[in-house]
Amino acid sequence: MLEPTDASVLVCEPHEETRATIVRYLSANYRCVEASNLAAATEMVAKGTFTALLIDQGENDFDDIVSAAQFLAPETCFILMSSNESSRFVVDAFRSGIFDVLLKPFELEELEEAMVRAVAKGESDKSRISYYQKLEAELIDGANHLEEAIRGVESSYGVTLKALIQALETRDAETRGHSARVVTFSLRLAHELGLDKDQKRDLELGAMLHDIGKIGVPDAILRKPSKLNKREWEKMKLHPLQGNRILRGIPFLEGAAKVVLQHHERWDGTGYPNKVRGDQIDINARVFAVADAFDAMTSDRAYSPGRSFDEACEELKRCSGSQFDPGVIEAFHAVPETDWEFLHERSLQEKQELYSFQAIVDELVKSQVHFDMVH
């Protein structure tokens, strides 16, 4: 169990015995308040501030729960306990403003993990509010002060986001080093496609943060050594939505959030979580998808060695028009193999730092590797 916090949770559960069990478990770390129905809970939340409202769907109408969540959010995180295992239901719940969904029956440890995420969101919201208050104050002192404040806040967010990535990589061994490599691969491909400076910046951040939503995936699923079952896989497939929720509302990460949300979408519309297709998928997400697949295929894993460059190229070509944007695949093949080899070796030397586009250009020039400098 975690150390006690100042966070509070309103437990809305009609069955007294179940409610008592939940309250007893959470009381060690959180201030708990009880309610037996949605109407009472909504009234209590409207009058006071709670970190989270834990509510059993039970006989409650889903639309009523969503209405309450939308009215009270973002101050209170709604955690829904439900027996509905439909992936469509879970996705709709997230889209409607529900913060997290616990599928019954669940372990109490899963409930604790959901509360940890709710507390983290609460802290993030406080930081964001403080950020906007600071900006408002700086407006009085003029544009120069405002720009300085923005740079300071962005730097602070950068430190926080790097810490989140390190926390994720501590939990998921397969992501270690992956972020650094896909950043470099993505930016080289973006250069080949002629994307502008702002697009490259969004892509850089999006590539670095693409799996940030896995922080919300329970360890039992994230670290499972064997194949995930259907229910576990549906939970894993929610990580783009969870990642988008983490980044949503942070102004300088709006472009990156699109990459996070759409990095598992496919050109033919069979991807997830929203099954968008073709150029409806953000261009940066399409670029990242190719870079991500290339890294996955050419990297050694615990259970299999990486493929050769030629084998990876053939697989990318095979999936052009189905999984990947044909235009992005064409650009990938236009990049000399020596560039990809150099970038792979260079990324292995990085210590998970944000690897800027200009740094990549400088390194390529120093090494006399082919790189068109018109950008």
28's tokens: 């060690």
SS3 assignment, position 369: coil
DSSP 308-321: PHHHHHHHHHHTBT
Longest C-alpha distance within the chain, in Å?
71
- Report the Cα 32 to chain-centroid distance in Å: 29
pLDDT at 70: 62
- The CATH number of domain 8-118 is 3.90.180.10: no
pTM greater than 0.75 (yes/no): no
Domains 8-118 and 172-366 share a fold: no
The CATH classification number of 172-366 equals: 1.10.3210.10
| Domain definitions of the chain by residue range | 8-118, 172-366
| pLDDT of the chain, 375 residues: tens digit per residue | 444 457 889 999 989 999 999 999 999 889 999 988 888 888 887 777 788 888 888 877 777 777 776 666 557 888 889 888 887 888 888 877 788 888 888 888 888 888 888 888 777 766 666 665 665 555 545 445 545 554 555 555 665 666 666 666 665 555 556 777 888 899 999 999 999 988 998 998 899 888 888 877 887 887 777 888 888 888 888 899 988 888 877 777 889 999 999 999 999 999 999 999 999 999 999 999 999 999 989 887 656 677 888 999 999 999 999 999 999 999 999 998 888 888 777 665 554 444 444 444 444 444 434 443 333
Spatial separation of the C-alpha atoms in residues 305 and 173, rounded to whole Å: 16
Spatial separation of the C-alpha atoms in residues 323 and 184, rounded to whole Å: 21
Spatial separation of the C-alpha atoms in residues 159 and 269, rounded to whole Å: 35
13-35 residue pLDDT tens: 989 999 999 999 999 889 999 98
Spatial separation of the C-alpha atoms in residues 208 and 202, rounded to whole Å: 10
pLDDT at 355: 42
